[in-house]
Chain A
Amino acid sequence: QKEVEQNSGPLSVPEGAIASLNCTYSDRGSQSFFWYRQYSGKSPELIMSIYSNGDKEDGRFTAQLNKASQYVSLLIRDSQPSDSATYLCAVGARGFKTIFGAGTRLFVKA
């Protein structure tokens, strides 16, 4: 079992819709959770971090964390073609090292 799992996609949504990206992790001791956006050929860029159960909103982005289910998700509201990218879920273990998922490709159709 991979430590951080994501559906590779591609996930295709129409412009203006909500995109929902999901991630599960195996280490119950994990304490920090991140979503990075990566455009093709570019470096990952941090878009959201979340540390406690529940929802965290930042503009059009909402991160959701459920530690009991070992599940973290990212919702993108009013999706735009510029949101088309690969989204990497990352899980931190007490400041030791961060484990990245393989990423989900999102395609927003204009």
Chain B
Amino acid sequence: DADVTQTPRNRITKTGKRIMLECSQTKGHDRMYWYRQDPGLGLRLIYYSFDVKDINKGEISDGYSVSRQAQAKFSLSLESAIPNQTALYFCATSDSSGSPDTQYFGPGTRLTVL
């Protein structure tokens, strides 16, 4: 089984809809991250969490919110989706007790907002 899983893997939705992307991990890592990837722009950090009670904004948090329900679960919500949020979204984890900067990625969620 994959160490970092994301659901759904693909989602098509309409402008204005609320969307939740979920991430679960079995790696036992304390840190979790949400990124979006757009062609030519690389990975951009949306939110990150260093433990269950810690949530931090990344460089592009506007229009997004997150919830860290447990050490193993980190969800990303789009309260009112808009077309420019169409992108590939990745969840990642890292281990503060090991190499905290080394990140392990989930398979990604391809989101299309019409």
The number of chain B residues with a CB under 8 A from chain A is 24
A94 CB to nearest B CB, Å: 8
B48 to chain A: closest residue by CB: A97
Is the beta-carbon distance between A100 and B102 smaller than 8 angstroms?
no
Please encode chain B, from 9 to 48, with 1 for each CB lying within 8 Å of some chain A CB and 0 for all others. 0000000000000000000000001010000111101001
A33 to chain B: closest residue by CB: B101
B40 to chain A: closest residue by CB: A102
Is the beta-carbon distance between B107 and A43 smaller than 8 angstroms?
yes
Is the beta-carbon distance between B96 and A95 smaller than 8 angstroms?
yes
Whether a CB of chain A sits under 8 angstroms from the CB of B105 is yes
B42 to chain A: closest residue by CB: A102
Point out residues on B near A: beta carbons under 8 Å: 33, 35, 40-43, 45, 48, 58, 88, 90, 94, 96, 99-108, 110
Point out residues on A near B: beta carbons under 8 Å: 8, 31-32, 34, 41-46, 49, 88, 90, 92-93, 95, 97-98, 100-103
